[in-house]
Chains A and B, each alone.
Chain A
């Protein structure tokens, strides 16, 4: 196992050396770009926000023994639905309604996967992959046609009527620091969910279903129902993340809305492992990676390097956790 981790490290170093970048300098540039300035911090927190929601979404699924690869699709569908509402309804009412729209859209998009898993025994990984592609096709159809703003050149909706202003906006050493309410809500949601999981019967049933569905069934937990609800809740969180991304940051919906937040969320949830609180530092790490991608590109590091780092990070951690339980080498 140590060999694998060392191998991952060595690979990154070699890949950087080949293109003539000293690994130390690359790390320095990454830290400077994401944590060195107020602006960098704002960007890191911005990248972190959708990962908090989508990471929680994947985490909820994992607790119930479900692999929600579909967070990407649920995020995009949620964002699209919330944008449709927010370009028509202004003010606080608009925020609430479009948040609910995102929530419902995400849950609906996860429902088929949950139903198939709970009542028909089909693997949720395959169904959520299929739903991801359908989400991309559906939203691309909508944004190229019915909900497109005809006055703009690229495929995008009109701007939302009342975007969420930053909660906090200050100047630090000549660069501005912005903190959005969406980030705070993401943190609170994770803390609240952690409490719910530990302290309520439903939370216990969710955990029991994930740990051992057969034993849970024997103990009287309605496993199919819990599975279906967990999948829908997972989709709802991802959809809500999409809604906040529209309201707070992007202020519109466009084609290719997500640069893969749903897939990175998978990494966030795996990194967090057993504890819901750990989602927050895990999302921060992925936020730093996302934000520092541009500083790496200034150093002429190919943009694929970030994906390589992500992939190796997931492999490195998953080798410790999420090992196949049925270890039985006779």
Chain B
């Protein structure tokens, strides 16, 4: 029993950064901006959090810096897709590539010993635990009950009609992308809090798992949060039972780690739930 509780706790801790990133994806995609660059924004957030926290020796300034960096990356996505009308997929991909290169550049010996000391003051993890549960609930209320939330959904469903109704889609989308930056920055900072340091590519694909959870959750905040934690159950299984038989069967670790992707693929094929993608996703 104690083992089981520990196992659930592990899944929760693993799920927190994924939930935060998925909420970032949710605000962006609900407003119609397709966002496969969550991974890159998290990575930028994590890197700058570590840098600022080390150089100022203040965890909270680090958090602010990380969020700021993720907002900038998110706004770049906004400028490219909304102002320059670039394809959303290409823009998201190039932000991922830039994040990988940019953080690797910052992590090089030219900056390392100055900015990435061995002890980084970090924001306590409990803050993020609380946020990971609170933010989906707040977004849910916001989308259902407020004028701003309904406008956001309207822009995501049909930008053209909402423009005719007197809403400025570009403005709404930029606000949504700022929120995306905030949530992805939080996700990156949480990963730094978890490990106490920055390392290259430390987000290790969690931005894409967040994207997958968003699809499973049907772009709804609370189901998406549940999907994130459910996905992390697989990873927790893999960590807890490494090399042991689970339920009497010996399965390779890689199979457990592939589960989120497999489930998402099945969901995309319409075998799990009906496809409920925002109608205006990726459209001008």
0 or 1 for each of B55-98: is its CB under 8 Å from A? (1 = yes): 00000000000000000000000001100111111110111011
State whether B284 touches A324 (Cβ < 8 A): yes
Is B268 among interface residues, defined by CB-CB distance under 8 A?
yes
Q: Which of A41-49, A174-182, A220-228, A314-322 contacts the other chain?
A: A314-322
Chain B residues near A195 (CB-CB < 8 A): none
Which of B105, B205, B257 has the most chain A CB within a 10 Å cutoff? B105
* Partner of B268 from A18, A123, A138, A318 at Cβ < 8 Å: A123
Is B171 among interface residues, defined by CB-CB distance under 8 A?
no
Instruction: Give A116 to B272 CA distance when docked, in angstroms.
Output: 13
Is B265 among interface residues, defined by CB-CB distance under 8 A?
yes
A112-B269, A318-B91, A323-B85 known; A129 vs B100 contact (CB < 8 Å): no
- Told that A263-B93, A330-B164 touch, could you supply 10 new A-B pairs with CB distance under 8 A? A122-B269, A123-B268, A134-B265, A304-B105, A307-B98, A310-B97, A314-B93, A323-B86, A324-B284, A328-B284
Instruction: Give A306 to B284 CA distance when docked, in angstroms.
Output: 31
Can you name the residue of chain B whose Cβ is closest to the Cβ of A127? B268
0 or 1 for each of A286-307: is its CB under 8 Å from B? (1 = yes): 0000000000000010111111
Q: Which of B190-238 contact A (CB under 8 A)?
A: 205, 208, 211-212, 215
SS class, residues of chain B in contact with chain A:
helix
Is A1 among interface residues, defined by CB-CB distance under 8 A?
yes
0 or 1 for each of A119-144: is its CB under 8 Å from B? (1 = yes): 01111011101110110011011000
A314-B93, A315-B91 known; A129 vs B211 contact (CB < 8 Å): yes
A-B contact count (CB 8 A): 159
State whether B86 touches A263 (Cβ < 8 A): no
Is A311 among interface residues, defined by CB-CB distance under 8 A?
yes
Is A91 among interface residues, defined by CB-CB distance under 8 A?
no
* Partner of A318 from B94, B100, B110, B163 at Cβ < 8 Å: B94
Chain A residues near B215 (CB-CB < 8 A): 126
Can you name the residue of chain A whose Cβ is closest to the Cβ of B271? A120
State whether B101 touches A306 (Cβ < 8 A): yes
Can you name the residue of chain B whose Cβ is closest to the Cβ of A117? B268
State whether B254 touches A137 (Cβ < 8 A): yes
Interface residues of A (CB under 8 A from B): 1, 4, 15, 18-19, 67, 69, 112, 115-116, 120-123, 125-127, 129-131, 133-134, 137-138, 140-141, 145, 263, 266, 270, 300, 302-312, 314-315, 318-319, 322-324, 326-328, 330
Chain B residues near A120 (CB-CB < 8 A): 268-270, 275
Is B104 among interface residues, defined by CB-CB distance under 8 A?
yes
Can you name the residue of chain A whose Cβ is closest to the Cβ of B169? A329
Instruction: Give A121 to B267 CA distance when docked, in angstroms.
Output: 11
Which of A18, A129, A140, A312 has the most chain B CB within a 10 Å cutoff? A129
State whether B163 touches A126 (Cβ < 8 A): no
Taking the closest CB of chain B, its distance from the CB of A263, in whole angstroms, is: 7
Chain B residues near A125 (CB-CB < 8 A): 34, 36, 89
State whether A319 touches B84 (Cβ < 8 A): yes
0 or 1 for each of B238-259: is its CB under 8 Å from A? (1 = yes): 0000000000000011110110
Instruction: Give A274 to B137 CA distance when docked, in angstroms.
Output: 46
State whether B89 touches A138 (Cβ < 8 A): no
Chain B residues near A115 (CB-CB < 8 A): 269
Chain A residues near B81 (CB-CB < 8 A): 324
Instruction: Give A130 to B102 CA distance when docked, in angstroms.
Output: 25
Can you name the residue of chain B whose Cβ is closest to the Cβ of A308? B101
State whether A131 touches B101 (Cβ < 8 A): no
Instruction: Give A266 to B92 CA distance when docked, in angstroms.
Output: 12
* Partner of B265 from A131, A266, A328 at Cβ < 8 Å: A131
A141-B252, A323-B84 known; A304 vs B269 contact (CB < 8 Å): no
State whether A122 touches B93 (Cβ < 8 A): no
State whether A302 touches B108 (Cβ < 8 A): yes
Chain B residues near A141 (CB-CB < 8 A): 252-255
* Partner of A305 from B101, B255, B284 at Cβ < 8 Å: B101
Chain B residues near A18 (CB-CB < 8 A): 110
State whether B89 touches A67 (Cβ < 8 A): yes
Can you name the residue of chain A whose Cβ is closest to the Cβ of B104? A304
Taking the closest CB of chain B, its distance from the CB of A318, in whole angstroms, is: 5
Can you name the residue of chain B whose Cβ is closest to the Cβ of A315? B94
Taking the closest CB of chain B, its distance from the CB of A131, in whole angstroms, is: 7
13 contacts between A and B (CB under 8 A): A18-B110, A69-B93, A133-B205, A137-B255, A137-B258, A304-B103, A306-B101, A310-B101, A311-B94, A315-B94, A319-B86, A323-B86, A330-B164
